Amino acid sequence: MTRTADGMMFHARLEPGEGNSGKLVTLLKRRAREHALEKSAALLLVDGPPGTGCPAIAALSGADAALLIAEPSRSGKADIERILALCRRMNVPPVMAINRWDLHPGMAEELEELAREERVPMLGRIPFDEGVHRCAASGRVVDAGPAGRAIGELWTSLQGFLRD
């Protein structure tokens, strides 16, 4: 558990070779939920792993919504199609955003078309931004660069979606 400026973050440390299991995700979610209830927190965010395996299923379990971050590539589109199907099976309403959309604008358009076809709200596009790497390397959250501004807009859109 780590205290941040915006609240507590619950996490685990895995050693090389250790498996990330649905049981571990469920345990962390249970501890976070207990803390959120104790503090009367309005929101509990779960950062799920990529893919559709047990850890992703555990992360989605009981969720009110899922923010899916798409990468503009063929494999990114296939990944989004699989997680959209999982969200539907689990009755978790999905919303989408595209990360580093400007690295492949044509593929970003295909992802937006997929979102329209699947009736999934598209909440934002995050541009590629070298500043993200500098922030991550120094242990900071993305700041006021182009990606930081886009993430701020995405957060505002997500809050609006959750209110509705």
Q: Which domain holds residue 68?
A: 64-163
* Lowest-pLDDT choice from 47-56, 63-72, 87-96, 155-164: 47-56
Tell whether 94 and 157 lie within a shared domain. Answer: yes
In a domain, 144, yes or no: yes
Domain presence at residue 59: no
**CATH number of residue 137's parent domain:** 3.40.50.300
pLDDT (0 to 100) of residue 40: 92
In this structure, are 125 and 77 located in the same domain? yes
* Within a domain: 20: yes
Residues 86, 126, single domain; the answer is yes
Number of domains in the chain: 2
Strand order in the sheet with 66-70: 66-70, 94-99, 122-126
Look at residue 101 in the predicted model and tell me its pLDDT: 97
| Predicted TM-score (pTM) of this structure | 0.87
What are the backbone angles phi and psi of residue 46, rounded to the nearest 5°?
Answer: -120, 120
> Residues with Cβ < 8 Å from 125, sequence gap 6 or more?
97, 98, 101, 102, 108, 150
pLDDT tens track for 60-114:
999 999 999 999 999 999 999 999 999 999 999 999 999 999 999 999 999 999 9
Examine the domain organization and report whether 26 and 101 are in the same domain. Answer: no
User: What integer pLDDT is reported at residue 6 of this predicted model?
Assistant: 75
Is 96 part of any domain? yes
Does residue 55 fall inside a structural domain? no
